[in-house]
Homo-oligomer: A and B are copies of this chain.
Amino acid sequence: MALSPSPSLLVVGTLALDSIETPEIRAKEVLGGSASYFAMAASLLGPVRLVGVVGEDFPVAHRELLASRPIDLGGLVSAKGGKTFRWSGRYHADMNTRDTLDTELNVIAGFRPVLPDGFRDSPFVYLANDSPSTQISTLEQARARRFVMLDTMNYWIEHEKAALFDVLNRVDGVIINDEEARLLTGEKNLISAGTRVLELGPRVVVVKKGEHGAFLFSHFVRHALPAYPIEDVVDPTGAGDSFAGGFMGFLARRGTVSLANLKRAMAYGTVLASFAVEAVSLERLATLTREEVETRLDDFLQFMSP
């Protein structure tokens, strides 16, 4: 019996040129962005459809890197005369906290994603961090959506809470960090915060805690796991979106969102994030193979199993 092809996974997010400083390294205008990390991570597990926008200055090599994987760039808009979104940040010595030094929105200012006709039947959809109104507009275009997950950030929680609550009530899952979960609910205790996010609508809530691992909340099961131990964290940028890529990539591959699949998706997310931080930008994800992913997954399951 032939296996059916993986249900399609769609990501809508940013492609960026990042400038990064850590105590160890400096990198100028390297490939970044939520959609880049998500798609490269998820593409290790199955095909991905990408929607985003870049400027005319977006290097061909970056596009070629994405295209070298099963990533359909049919939704990647190149804005004529526009400049690619740029972000620069500096990580503190603990590598867990960072300051944003500069943000140049450029082509993403006012960009309203339009799904190509061929992308509208995607059952699995990841809405990377963006304004809630843009997320709703995108969601409505994904007519065959079966499992939609979104990311958000402090800015939208503080400035567009009503719109965010609206979109939260219309998605299946949310993937946020611990600080955002606390801000969103006003609960200091993380367990209370995660439980309260569930009451806002999503049936799956993933709270990322960086080096402390991640927590899954649903109405039927709670699950927590540690991070995969990495001694030499080179660049934490994109770890969250790489986690999301591993998580959604695995669910799309399996095609169903069972409790067992959610638990295994958490482990894949952890493993993909652990690779992402081992080198600057997407350098490690670029060389990563499916076999390396599966080997580290086995190590990780051993490491976390009681």
Contacts and interface: CB of A to CB of B under 8 A. Distances in A.
Interface string A104-115: 000000000000
B303 A224 contact: yes
Interface string A207-238: 00101110100000011111101111100000
Contacts of A229: 191, 215, 222, 224
A183 to B, nearest CB: 14
Given A191-B230, A231-B192, A304 B224 contact: yes
A188 interface: yes
- State the oligomeric state as a number of copies: 2
A225 B93 CA distance: 25
Interface string A80-99: 00000000000001110000
Nearest to A209: B212
A189 B233 contact: yes
A190 B233 CA distance: 11
A73 interface: no
Interface of A: 93-95, 188-192, 195, 209, 211-213, 215, 222-227, 229-233, 263-264, 266-267, 301, 303-306
